[in-house]
Structure 1
Amino acid sequence: MSLDLQKHFKKFHEAIELGNLDDTKILREKRDLLIAELNENLEDGLSFAHFNQGSYAMGTGIFPKDGDYDIDVGLLFNATTDDYKNSVELKEKVYDALDRASRNADIRRSCVTVQYVRENVPQYHVDLAIYAKDPNEYSNDIYIAKGKRNSDADKKFWEKSDPKGLLAKVNKYSDDPDERAQMRRVIRYLKKWRDKTLGGEKPYSIALTVCVLNHFIPKRNFNATYNDLEALILLVDTLLFVWGDGLKAMLPVEPFCDLNADLTDIQMSNFKKTMETLKGALLEAADCDLETDACKILRKQFGDDFPVPTEAETSQKTKRAVAPAGASA
């Protein structure tokens, strides 16, 4: 690995990172608007505490390929699972309080989604996960409402969950903030790779995040600078090594489930083949003699946001690096 491609990975990350406050301003405004409306319109004296979750809270978001920005919000109600035996009933109360002609509300399996559309094109949406407390007053456990309106009875249930615990796992991955930063970059790279090569739907972003969280090892060069290409190669190699009958994305907090469990055999097989192709491309890029050639290989995996320097740019750098004797003091 004689080439130093870190500067190109840095530019790539700057292009895909959804981290700028201006990028997410509209999402925060819509979130706050919905929270205010819920507080005003909820019936039965219901109250709740809200918190951010998902990629927005974890700092792992990327610009969406279809332009449909999203933010995940948890709503922990001052109610127990015994108060609402039917988990969808509480979702329906949230839906009724927020449904408007100017936006589309939908009860999904794990959340209530409020979609904003402009000229029939989705612009951004807010996913509201609905939580209730344990009936045992001495327990701190919380449960997420699962199920849709027309789901069978066995598909409507409360599932123990720990969204704040997962956020803490990501935030406390390492005591070194630079190592945490590299892990977040790698998560973003894999999301972008998924969007480019697998269509962007499955595996879900949270599953990719958990796979990285469970298996990531930071990589630096001998001069202590971080090397994202080596980190990616090691991670992908590890994921393929532990694959077995399928790549498990085991949630390290409640409910301790496999987030890839709903992938079909065909989806899992395609996932593996595509990741094997990624591994080959990463190794090929690392073995290139020219930065331009390496970046062209990486662009095929990660999309057009990955920069490709011109041969003139790289040759110019080479000329400056090999200055004639006496040219510098």
Structure 2
Amino acid sequence: MFDCAKDIRAYHDQDVTLPKTEQDAMRDRRNSNRSRLRNGLAAAGKPAPLEFVKQGSYAMKTMVRDPDNDYDIDDGVYFRKEELVGERGAEMTSLQARQMVRDAVDDGKFKRAPEVRRNCVRVFYEKGYHVDLPVYRRVVTSTVFGDEIHYELAASSGWKRSDARDVSDWYEDERARSADGVQLRRINRDLKKYARSRYSWRGGILSGFGISVLLTERYRQNEREDRALYDTMVAIRDRLNWNLQVAHPVTPGDYITSGDDDARARSFRDKLTEAIDTLQPLFEVDCTRERALKCWDKVFATTFFSERLEEERRAAVAAPAIISSAALLGSTAAAAAAVSSAGGGRHA
């Protein structure tokens, strides 16, 4: 396979992963949202959050850059069960808990008001991104062995046993256990970037979480970044050819996909096949760097790789001129020094 390892790594670092400035901005948005919610709850005489827990791709550090700022920041808000009671002292339903959070976070300054969704409260921002606030309650059960604690999500179907930390802990364990956990996370981002590389794909392709689960199953470590990405693509495609179902990693009996012919998983499998086919010229003995980079451009629907080649060519053309200028300046300086040391010049 034609070696484009440095190019794939450069693409990841420059066009895939979020720059630190954007990461810092997201953290600021999250913290502002937390303060807004705390203040809103206090003003309404509602219970204060027990804690906030970041989750999803934001917690797993697998978010990818999006030209339209279509970012989904997941920030779970936790309450004590015994404090989630209605006006008449009855236990809050999962819908009432989400409505409480929605009302508290809406300070009237949003262009689009926060909304209650099936499993969260969504806060919209003008720049295109949004913050999802899943609502949880901590349940303490007394037993002969002491208190047992678990958490429940305010889902559309009612209070459902769940804890966002379980997924984050699972991913970190898988990443740390892999042959190269740092590369695994980069490949994870690359695959998610590919899945979102065409707008027409976004509504019908496997979720980023589903892609992350498949990656942990079939990651193929390699010293060459391009080979690791390609081999992982093939391994995941082959796995989906065998079985389109993707099990939830921390919830026994639960699946990310729907049935054994899930349309989104099938779509991701087919798009991986397209990418694999597009990259076949890289295995030909007469493959050139230009041809190889054009193939990677086509895979990611970008011009990054071809532009990188053009920059290299411009640098190669400019280099001799720079060297010649430096040599000329050096020769002139040397001649002047020789005249000076010999006592020459018009006043000699």
The alignment's TM-score, normalised by the length of structure 1, stands at: 0.79
Equivalent position amino acid for 2:65 in 1:
F
Is the 2:71–2:128 contact (alpha carbons within 8 Å) kept by the matching residues of 1? yes
Give me the whole-angstrom Cα distance separating, in 2, the residues matched to 1:12 and 1:95: 39
- Report the alpha carbon displacement of residue 205 of structure 1 after superposing the two structures with TM: 1.2
- Report the alpha carbon displacement of residue 268 of structure 1 after superposing the two structures with TM: 4.3
1:68 matched residue in structure 2: 70
Alpha carbons of structure 1 residues 230 and 313: separation in structure 2 relative to 1, 3 Å: same
1:153 matched residue in structure 2: none
Is the 1:246–1:268 contact (alpha carbons within 8 Å) kept by the matching residues of 2? no
Of 112, 115, 120 in structure 2, the residue corresponding to residue 106 of structure 1 is: 115
Alpha carbons of structure 1 residues 170 and 195: separation in structure 2 relative to 1, 3 Å: same
Does 2:295 match 1:297? yes
Alpha carbons of structure 1 residues 144 and 282: separation in structure 2 relative to 1, 3 Å: farther
- Report the alpha carbon displacement of residue 289 of structure 1 after superposing the two structures with TM: 2.0
Does 2:228 match 1:231? yes
1:211 matched residue in structure 2: 214
Does 2:224 match 1:188? no
1:124 matched residue in structure 2: 129
- Report the alpha carbon displacement of residue 305 of structure 1 after superposing the two structures with TM: 5.9
- Report the alpha carbon displacement of residue 34 of structure 1 after superposing the two structures with TM: 1.9
Alpha carbons of structure 1 residues 40 and 8: separation in structure 2 relative to 1, 3 Å: same
Alpha carbons of structure 1 residues 275 and 133: separation in structure 2 relative to 1, 3 Å: same
Matches within 5 A, 1:263-274: 266-274=263-271
2:254 matched residue in structure 1: 257
Give me the whole-angstrom Cα distance separating, in 2, the residues matched to 1:234 and 1:159: 38
Deviations 1:210-260 (A, max 9, x none): 11122213122xxxxxx2222223222222222257523322112552212
Alpha carbons of structure 1 residues 256 and 215: separation in structure 2 relative to 1, 3 Å: farther
Does 2:287 match 1:278? no
Does 2:50 match 1:48? yes
- Report the alpha carbon displacement of residue 172 of structure 1 after superposing the two structures with TM: 2.7
- Report the alpha carbon displacement of residue 312 of structure 1 after superposing the two structures with TM: 8.7
Give me the whole-angstrom Cα distance separating, in 2, the residues matched to 1:143 and 1:89: 14
Give me the whole-angstrom Cα distance separating, in 2, the residues matched to 1:86 and 1:215: 40
Give me the whole-angstrom Cα distance separating, in 1, the residues matched to 2:73 and 2:23: 9
2:328 matched residue in structure 1: none
Of 131, 141, 150 in structure 2, the residue corresponding to residue 136 of structure 1 is: 141
SS in 1 for 2:159: strand
Structure 1 residue ranges without an equivalent (≥5): 148-155, 221-226, 321-329
Alpha carbons of structure 1 residues 256 and 34: separation in structure 2 relative to 1, 3 Å: farther
Give me the whole-angstrom Cα distance separating, in 2, the residues matched to 1:36 and 1:178: 40
1:325 matched residue in structure 2: none
Equivalent position amino acid for 2:288 in 1:
L
Give me the whole-angstrom Cα distance separating, in 2, the residues matched to 1:100 and 1:246: 47
Give me the whole-angstrom Cα distance separating, in 2, the residues matched to 1:249 and 1:88: 29
Alpha carbons of structure 1 residues 74 and 186: separation in structure 2 relative to 1, 3 Å: same
Alpha carbons of structure 1 residues 271 and 263: separation in structure 2 relative to 1, 3 Å: farther
Write 1 or 2 for the structure with the bigger share of helix.
2
Is the 2:174–2:216 contact (alpha carbons within 8 Å) kept by the matching residues of 1? yes
Alpha carbons of structure 1 residues 127 and 159: separation in structure 2 relative to 1, 3 Å: same
SS in 2 for 1:94: helix
How well do the aligned residues superpose, as a CA RMSD in angstroms?
3.1
Moved more, 171-180 or 207-216: 171-180
The alignment's TM-score, normalised by the length of structure 2, stands at: 0.75
Is the 1:6–1:228 contact (alpha carbons within 8 Å) kept by the matching residues of 2? yes
Is the 2:124–2:131 contact (alpha carbons within 8 Å) kept by the matching residues of 1? yes
Question: Sequence identity, in percent?
Answer: 23
Equivalent position amino acid for 1:274 in 2:
K
Q: How many residue pairs get matched?
A: 299
SS in 2 for 1:242: helix
